[in-house]
Chain A
Amino acid sequence: MIWPFQRMIGMPRVAAIEHPFGRPYGDVGDITTQREVLLAALAVFGKAREPGYLEHLPFEWHEDPDQTKWHPAEPSPIIALITKRK
């Protein structure tokens, strides 16, 4: 999650997490992580006292970035356009 973006647009409460794109709550079939992330995000409602509250959740993804696949099979149209213009 790119939490500086959520901060930029003014989200009232943010639970930042270091998970890859497409799987914010956890990996396929990882019921434990999905549950813990959901509970941690819900807990923010009870902690935040003022607009712009930002909490960094302690979860660590189980794969290194170079082993983590999240990209679509084809580059998105805007990425393809930017790459073409370079």
Chain B
Amino acid sequence: MRQVDPWRFTGGFLSKILSARIPDEPSHPEIPWTEVGKPVAESKVALLSTAGLSMRDDAPFDMEMEREKPTQGDPSWRRLRADATSATIEANHLHIDTGYIERDLNVALPVDRLRELAAEGAIGAVADSHYSIMGYQGNDSSTLENQSAPEIAAAMRSEEVDLALLAPV
């Protein structure tokens, strides 16, 4: 099977910048691993997006900070209700065209498709919450890694999530 071309849509400028920063081998000495405990058809599934999604009645991701300090990104996270729609969600991400998400949330957070799979029995259940971070972290991802990620994991555990699907945008 052919390999996915990671640079197909980046353009030459961005691929030159990014490819120079990505070594061939993983930099983490040990990759985390948790065995899958049950079949997908019996699992409660949560979605996680890096699109900077927040409920409209929640605080949005801080884009002004990034505009003032371009090497920094908002490291916080947001909980999204499972019944979220494009109308109830706001997308704040300065590195992509968020207009597609505003028209159809499923392009980045397929909440409708997940509900359909649950109704068909292809998954066990939809989690009560989904989650979002803002993917651009600039030069320092330590807060995201050491604070936000453990908090998201704890929230998922409290809702008895079995599988989490992270989709970078």
Contacts and interface: CB of A to CB of B under 8 A. Distances in A.
Interface of A: 1-12, 16-29, 31, 34-35, 37-39, 41-43, 45-46, 50-52, 56-58, 61, 65, 68-74, 76-82
Contacts of A76: 66, 70, 94-95, 136
A79 B96 CA distance: 12
A51 B163 contact: no
Contacts of B100: 22-23, 27-28
Contacts of A69: 97
A40 to B, nearest CB: 11
Contacts of B168: 1, 5-6, 24
A10 B113 contact: no
A38 B18 contact: no
A74 B51 CA distance: 17
Interface stretch (B30-38, B54-62, B76-84): B30-38
A36 B11 CA distance: 27
B133 interface: no
A56 to B, nearest CB: 5
Contact of B6 (A2, A10, A22, A79): A2
Given A22-B108, A34-B113, A8 B27 contact: yes
Given A1-B168, A8-B23, A65 B106 contact: no
A52 B28 CA distance: 11
The 9 nearest A-B residue pairs measured at CB: A10-B28, A77-B70, A51-B31, A22-B96, A16-B4, A23-B107, A20-B9, A28-B104, A51-B33
Contacts of B103: 28
Nearest to A47: B36
Contacts of B113: 25, 31, 34-35, 38
A65 B9 contact: yes
A22 B107 CA distance: 7
B107 A34 contact: yes
